[in-house]
């Protein structure tokens, strides 16, 4: 570990293989919290490369308890990094049901609240969704319902090893960027929101190295880790190894400009109600924000050839009741599992 620390302190980048070895040292029981904290601080000061991020992600995914017994073809995730400080309602969680309602398999990775008021797990738990599905149950749900929730602490128990060092540091590190990248399912496509606009290209490169055939990375207006109605959204499209940058304004897809203040959320109960309201068709900035983000997810998956088409399919998913049905099915399956225990 000391060798890798000295190299990073000297301003040298680690190769993917070196980072994998450094990550295994970080998760080892005989590595001190001081060594972990020093390494994370040095990486942050130097600036993390795509190889360093990919190496860490590879080791975390390798250690995951969720190794599905079969392949999930065409799966997508739309998880964001968090950390944008916007206190918005649970946009990506709501959007996930809309994407699934459009006929796309969504392996939704998420956690409890860390930087926001309410995390995806808090909201889904409030709605009656179980956080403790087995790998076999997860695979069954994905095949039957097109959407399942992967609760990060359950699928990545090894992450507990570095929590003390991260808390003692008290500043964002490489771990604050990698949450959406550590989904243990072999995703084909991905919509990834990041709170750091300077990380768009890096994250797209990591997604390429992780094997995504197509992906979209977004930093929203106001530096949200979601697409926003407030103005220009900055995006990078990854397709067949090529990266293209572009911006998207809500009026380009027929949506009104709305300040980010209008989409602030509350506690788990408040955000659960907003999620239900949107899926039940209630009009307003919450719905329009979800339509924009779900439309981007459908476009990222390749089911829509344009973002405009994706937005139209997102509206149809809500208006037909398909998105709401995905939620109801997940709740019903959760109740069934609880009764069997």
Known binding site for 5-phospho-alpha-D-ribose 1-diphosphate: residues?
Answer: 80, 83-84, 88, 90-93, 108-116, 120
Measured between alpha carbons, how far is 2 from 111 in angstroms, rounded to an integer? Answer: 32
- Alpha-carbon distance of 180 to 192, in angstroms, equals 7
In the annotated binding site for Mg(2+), the residues are 92, 225-226
Q: Are 323 and 98 in contact (CB under 8 A)?
A: yes
The CA distance from 142 to 72, in Å, is: 8
Contact 24, 63 (CB under 8 A): no
What are the binding residues?
A: 80, 83-84, 88, 90-93, 108-116, 120, 166, 225-226
The three-class DSSP label of residue 36 is: helix
Among 325, 320, 298, 323, residue whose Cα is nearest residue 309: 298
What is the separation, in whole angstroms, between the first and last Cα of the chain? Answer: 44
Nearest to 102 by CA among 330, 279, 286: 279
Cβ–Cβ under 8 Å, residues 297 and 78: yes
As annotated, the binding site for anthranilate includes 80, 111, 166
Tell me the C-alpha distance between 86 and 257, whole Å. Answer: 17
CA 165 to CA 152: how far, in whole Å?
Answer: 19
């Amino acid at each position: 570990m000391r060798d890798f620390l000295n190299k990073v302190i000297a301003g040298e980048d680690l190769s993917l293989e070196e980072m994998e070895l450094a990550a295994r040292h970080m998760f080892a029981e005989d590595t001190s919290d001081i060594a972990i904290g020093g390494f994370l601080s040095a990486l942050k000061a130097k600036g993390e490369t795509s190889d360093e991020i990919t190496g860490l992600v590879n080791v975390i995914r390798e250690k995951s308890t969720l190794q599905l017994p079969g392949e999930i073809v065409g799966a997508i995730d739309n998880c964001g990094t968090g950390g944008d400080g916007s206190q918005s309602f649970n946009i990506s969680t709501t959007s996930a049901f809309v994407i699934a309602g459009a006929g796309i398999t969504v392996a939704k990775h998420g956690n409890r609240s860390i930087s926001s008021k309410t995390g995806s797990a808090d909201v889904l738990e409030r709605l009656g969704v179980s956080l403790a599905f087995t790998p076999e149950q997860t695979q069954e749900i994905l095949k039957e319902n097109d959407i399942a929730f992967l609760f990060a602490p359950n699928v990545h128990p090894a992450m507990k090893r570095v929590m003390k060092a991260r808390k003692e540091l008290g500043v964002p590190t490489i771990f604050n960027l990698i949450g959406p990248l550590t989904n243990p399912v072999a995703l084909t496509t991905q919509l990834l929101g990041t709170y750091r606009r300077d990380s768009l290209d890096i994250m797209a490169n990591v997604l390429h190295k992780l094997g995504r055939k197509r992906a979209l990375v977004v930093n929203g207006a106001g530096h949200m880790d979601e697409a926003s109605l407030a103005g220009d959204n900055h995006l990078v499209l990854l397709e067949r190894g090529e990266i293209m940058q572009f911006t998207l304004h809500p009026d380009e897809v027929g949506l009104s400009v709305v300040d980010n203040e209008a989409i602030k959320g509350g506690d788990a109960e408040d955000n659960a109600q907003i999620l239900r309201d949107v899926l039940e068709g209630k009009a307003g900035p919450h719905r329009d924000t979800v339509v924009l983000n779900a439309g981007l997810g459908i476009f990222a998956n390749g089911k829509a050839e344009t973002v405009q088409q994706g937005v139209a399919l997102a509206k149809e998913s809500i208006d037909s009741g398909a998105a709401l049905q995905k939620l109801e099915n997940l709740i019903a399956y959760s109740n069934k599992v609880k009764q069997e225990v």
